[in-house]
């Protein structure tokens, strides 16, 4: 999407520099920093330390990481090492494993002399596939927004609540949850976005609000506590969120707090949609609440908040007493019974084994 | 409760100085600042700008505000002016109106020459009544914790989640939601508290965590998003929160986000209790969601977070882009159907018209 007048992806190969570049998202919304990723360590840090985040972008970054490593050393040992190092960076996002397996399985079959070129092209292709996938998600989601807009009074926007950042910054472009929003804006439909700040890392405040501001989409930032109240009072027409891992039966593992919004949507008869590329579906998992491992992150993310200081520099404030420890589960799982529907690149389906299998019959394991 | 070795209330009359003193809670947990309130403007600022907060403490502060004003000018005009100025400081907390009406109705009947002494004594009495009321709430709530503890394995603490600060800092002493916790600790029951940070103003992180730390109660700070996940995984045995206004039919208006925790508790069959002095009951209101006015506070509270900077000074960080506005409803209403029970100074009751009327038959209006 655009930043000012220029179109960006969140990761790209710079032909002039012969290097992978990313937007280092740790500095948004306050600074736009673009950095090169060179070594395997760079790629691993970029994922683990959240220079890039969002399940689809993590997958694309991992694919580029394999490709760059293979250019240096095309051996099986090198490939396996890269797979291991990149795989352990983030435990929850399933796209990471998907992208790593895709690259490894492809390259293992190829002669070493050809691996660099094949890996490079496949990483680019994974990026392009992600963009097209998200475009399709947007077109399918647009139909839902159109129907809601048709029932609003003239001039009233469709109020959409979203949690965390499932925006173009979480993917290669378009985003998952935001793709229907951007497509609605392009179609001339009035929308207004409630942006959950999404503590502890505030991806909503830092990234989704920045995306909305950059694209000129009307929005308000709200604390994560506010969505239920807004839903009780008719101020939310729909919820769209992304997912880091979706069980084969339709349970949705997404940023911590998603489950609370799904409960509130259900309690107020508000549609709750999850937008996802099918690469986030973990076909081996049925019961998401019981089976999906939840990353526990550092206590500091809870006890401190990062942002722009009054003097314009960037820094953190500690919000709690020195003696108070934080506990920091990073994701939760929303049971399928709370999900109105899944918006995938192949269309809309029910959040159930039957619904998912209907769209992706060739991938079902059981 | 204690700060170090010394016992404090949150508001008191300093006989040596002949002045009302409070803990200026805006600086907690980083600094303990005690300030005198002198003019009517001081009292109004203390309430409106949240030097003190919490429904019972707001009531006690307003009573002292009337008393100090009456010492300066005991006329009806002065009394009415004080009532008006103090009444408009915060729109949601019902105790404010209760305390102001109590003082005005008492003083109007008295000759002007006697009003100063009567007002002073009544303000002290309102404080003492609040302390005793919260002690009773604690004793009744203790019985619930005892029953849960009896079903835990030896050595396992009772895990209690609380939202915002309904602690001794929100009352004159003991707190409402925290009084059962402090009584359980005194009774030798092992407890562990999940402290919701409670954005936007972080009263959980700043005040409840500080209370727990000061009293040595085991606790972890969590983001407001985390409670649902903890409940899904059996890590929460009960929820206790306070209330700023309770409808006569048992709906509970409390800090924004309370409703989301009540939904999660219901979804996971976890008891959700509300601790309240009966002064928070608004006997004129039946349907809390429709009838209780919700204070909309400043956008800056959402877009900025206050705390201790890396250099030890206090300040704020802006978390969102300059162009992003915040929306800031300060309270929400939890429908009675989600509340397991109300813990009052007269004992436990169902959150319903019948339940409340059973404990307070003399106060029911309809």
Give bridge partners of residue B317 from the DSSP assignment.
Answer: A309, B305
What pLDDT, on the 0 to 100 scale, is given for residue A285?
A: 95
- Is domain B139-359 given the CATH code 3.40.50.720 in the classification? no
Structure tokens at B269: 């069959």
| Dist CA A118 CA A123 (whole Å) | 9
Nearest by CB to residue A324, choosing from B219, B260, B261, is B219
In this predicted model, what pLDDT tens digit does every residue of B319-336 receive, in sequence order? 999 999 999 999 999 999
**Residues B308, A318: C-beta atoms closer than 8 Å:** yes
Question: Where do the structural domains in chain B lie, given as residue ranges?
Answer: 2-129, 139-359
> What are residue A239's phi and psi, to 5 degrees?
-115, 135
Query: Do B254 and B244 form a contact (C-beta atoms < 8 A)?
Result: yes
**Mapping DSSP to helix (H, G, I), strand (E, B) and coil, where does residue A305 land?**
strand
Instruction: Record the pTM.
Output: 0.94
pLDDT beyond 80 at B81: yes
What average pLDDT does range B336-356 have in this prediction?
98
Residues in B closer than 8 angstroms to A294, CB to CB, are 229
**Residues B327, A227: C-beta atoms closer than 8 Å:** no
Quickly state the pLDDT bin for A103 (edges 50, 70, 90). very high
pLDDT beyond 80 at A365: yes
- Omega into B282 within 30° of 0, i.e. cis? no
DSSP assignment string, A95-162 = HHHHHHHHHHHHHHTS-HHHHHHHHHHHHHHHHHHHHHHHHHHHHHHHHHHHHHHHTSPTTPPEEEEE
ipTM of the modeled complex = 0.94
Instruction: List, in sequence order, the alpha helices (H) in chain A.
Output: 40-48, 55-72, 76-87, 94-108, 112-150, 178-186, 203, 209-215, 227-232, 258-267, 288-291, 300-303, 353-359
What average pLDDT does range A180-204 have in this prediction?
98
Radius of gyration of chain B (CA): 20
Residues in A closer than 8 angstroms to B29, CB to CB, are 320-321, 324
| Minimal-distance CA residue of chain B relative to A334 | B229
What pLDDT, on the 0 to 100 scale, is given for residue A91?
A: 75
**Residues B232, A303: C-beta atoms closer than 8 Å:** no
What is the CA B68 to chain-centroid distance, rounded? 23
What pLDDT, on the 0 to 100 scale, is given for residue B140?
A: 98
| Dist CA B25 CA B52 (whole Å) | 6
Give bridge partners of residue A246 from the DSSP assignment.
Answer: A252, A281
What pLDDT, on the 0 to 100 scale, is given for residue B243?
A: 95
Nearest by CB to residue B256, choosing from A198, A223, A310, is A223
| Dist CA A68 CA B170 (whole Å) | 57
pLDDT beyond 90 at B155: no
Determine the distance in angstroms separating the CA of A208 from the nearest CA of chain B, rounded to an integer: 9
Closest CA to B151 of B194, B189, B181, B183: B189
Share the mean pLDDT of chain B. 96
Contacts 24+ apart (CB under 8 A), B75-81: B75/B112, B76/B108, B79/B104, B79/B107, B79/B108, B79/B115, B80/B104, B81/B40
A42 burial level (CB within 10 Å; 0-12, 13-18, 19+): middle
What pLDDT, on the 0 to 100 scale, is given for residue B2?
A: 87
Determine the distance in angstroms separating the CA of A358 from the nearest CA of chain B, rounded to an integer: 29
pLDDT beyond 90 at B4: no
| Minimal-distance CA residue of chain B relative to A221 | B326
What pLDDT, on the 0 to 100 scale, is given for residue A323?
A: 94
What average pLDDT does range A271-277 have in this prediction?
97
pLDDT beyond 80 at A366: no
Nearest by CB to residue B309, choosing from A197, A259, A315, is A315
What pLDDT, on the 0 to 100 scale, is given for residue B91?
A: 75
| Minimal-distance CA residue of chain A relative to B289 | A232
| Minimal-distance CA residue of chain B relative to A316 | B309
What average pLDDT does range B86-97 have in this prediction?
88
**Mapping DSSP to helix (H, G, I), strand (E, B) and coil, where does residue A64 land?**
helix
CB neighbour list of residue B108: distance below 8 Å, 6 or more residues apart: B76, B79
CATH number, domain B2-129, options 3.40.190.10, 1.20.120.420, 3.30.565.10, 3.40.1550.10: 1.20.120.420
Q: What percent of chain A has pLDDT over 70?
A: 100
What average pLDDT does range A258-281 have in this prediction?
97
Determine the distance in angstroms separating the CA of B200 from the nearest CA of chain A, rounded to an integer: 6
Interface test with B, best of A201, A203, A225 (most B CBs within 10 A): A225
In this predicted model, what pLDDT tens digit does every residue of A303-352 receive, in sequence order? 999 999 999 999 999 999 999 999 999 999 999 999 999 999 999 999 99
Nearest by CB to residue A263, choosing from B224, B267, B332, is B267
| Dist CA B179 CA B191 (whole Å) | 13
| Dist CA B131 CA B22 (whole Å) | 15
Q: Which helix or strand (DSSP H or E) is residue A304 part of?
A: strand A304-309
Give bridge partners of residue B298 from the DSSP assignment.
Answer: none
DSSP assignment string, B146-194 = HHHHHTSPTTPPEEEEE-S--SGGGSSSS-STHHHHHHHHHTT--EEEE
∠ at Cα B181 (B209, B343), nearest 5°?
Answer: 120
**Residues A289, B319: C-beta atoms closer than 8 Å:** no
Q: How many residues does chain B have?
A: 366
The position carrying tokens 């993310």 is A301
Closest CA to B316 of A28, A220, A307: A307
Quickly state the pLDDT bin for B148 (edges 50, 70, 90). very high
Question: Among all residues of A, which ones are annotated catalytic?
Answer: 244
What average pLDDT does range B298-307 have in this prediction?
97
Query: Do B162 and B239 form a contact (C-beta atoms < 8 A)?
Result: yes
What pLDDT, on the 0 to 100 scale, is given for residue A94?
A: 81
Structure tokens at B245: 């206004």
Q: Detail the DSSP E strand segments found in chain B.
A: 2-3, 6-7, 11-14, 19-23, 34-37, 158-162, 191-196, 219-222, 238-241, 245-247, 252-255, 272-275, 281-282, 304-309, 314-318, 331-334, 341-344, 347-349
In this predicted model, what pLDDT tens digit does every residue of B126-141 receive, in sequence order? 999 999 999 999 999 9
Quickly state the pLDDT bin for B5 (edges 50, 70, 90). confident
Q: Quick one: DSSP state of residue A365? A: -
What average pLDDT does range A133-147 have in this prediction?
98
Q: Do domains A2-129 and A139-359 have the same CATH topology?
A: no
**Residues B200, A219: C-beta atoms closer than 8 Å:** no
Interface test with B, best of A320, A331, A336, A338 (most B CBs within 10 A): A320
Query: Can you say whether the dihedral through the CA atoms of B5, B7, B12, B13 is positive or negative?
Result: negative
């Amino acid at each position: 999407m655009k930043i000012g007048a220029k179109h960006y992806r969140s990761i790209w190969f710079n032909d002039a520099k012969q290097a992978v570049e990313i937007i280092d998202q740790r500095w948004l919304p306050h600074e736009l920093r673009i950095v090169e990723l060179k070594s395997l360590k760079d790629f691993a840090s970029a994922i683990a330390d959240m220079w890039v985040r969002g399940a689809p972008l993590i997958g694309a970054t991992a694919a580029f990481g394999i490709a760059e490593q293979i250019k240096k050393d095309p051996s099986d040992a090198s490939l396996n090492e890269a797979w291991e190092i990149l795989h352990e960076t983030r435990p929850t996002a399933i796209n990471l494993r998907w992208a790593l397996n895709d690259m490894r399985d492809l390259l293992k079959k190829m002669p070493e002399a050809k691996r660099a070129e094949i890996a490079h092209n496949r990483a680019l292709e994974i990026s392009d596939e992600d963009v097209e996938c998200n475009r399709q998600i947007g077109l399918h989601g647009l139909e839902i927004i159109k129907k809601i807009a048709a029932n609003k009074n003239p001039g009233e926007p469709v109020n959409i609540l979203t949690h965390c950042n499932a925006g173009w910054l979480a993917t290669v472009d378009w985003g998952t949850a935001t793709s229907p929003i951007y497509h609605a804006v392009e179609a001339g439909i009035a929308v207004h976005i409630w942006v959950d700040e999404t503590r502890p890392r505030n991806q909503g405040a830092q990234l989704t609000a920045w995306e909305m501001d950059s694209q000129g989409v009307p929005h308000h930032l709200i604390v994560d506590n506010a969505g239920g109240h807004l839903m009780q009072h008719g101020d939310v027409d729909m919820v769209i969120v992304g997912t880091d891992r979706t069980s084969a039966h339709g349970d949705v593992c997404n940023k911590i707090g998603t489950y609370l919004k799904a409960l509130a949507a259900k309690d107020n008869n508000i549609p709750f949609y999850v937008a996802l590329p099918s690469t986030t579906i973990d076909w081996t998992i049925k019961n998401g609440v019981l089976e999906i491992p939840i990353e526990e992150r550092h206590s500091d993310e809870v006890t401190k908040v990062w942002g722009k200081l009054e003097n314009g520099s960037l820094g953190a404030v500690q919000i709690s007493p020195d003696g108070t420890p934080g506990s920091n589960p990073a994701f939760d799982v929303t049971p399928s019974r709370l999900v109105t529907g899944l918006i995938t690149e192949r269309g809309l389906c029910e959040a159930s084994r039957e619904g998912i299998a209907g769209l992706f019959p060739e991938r079902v394991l059981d």
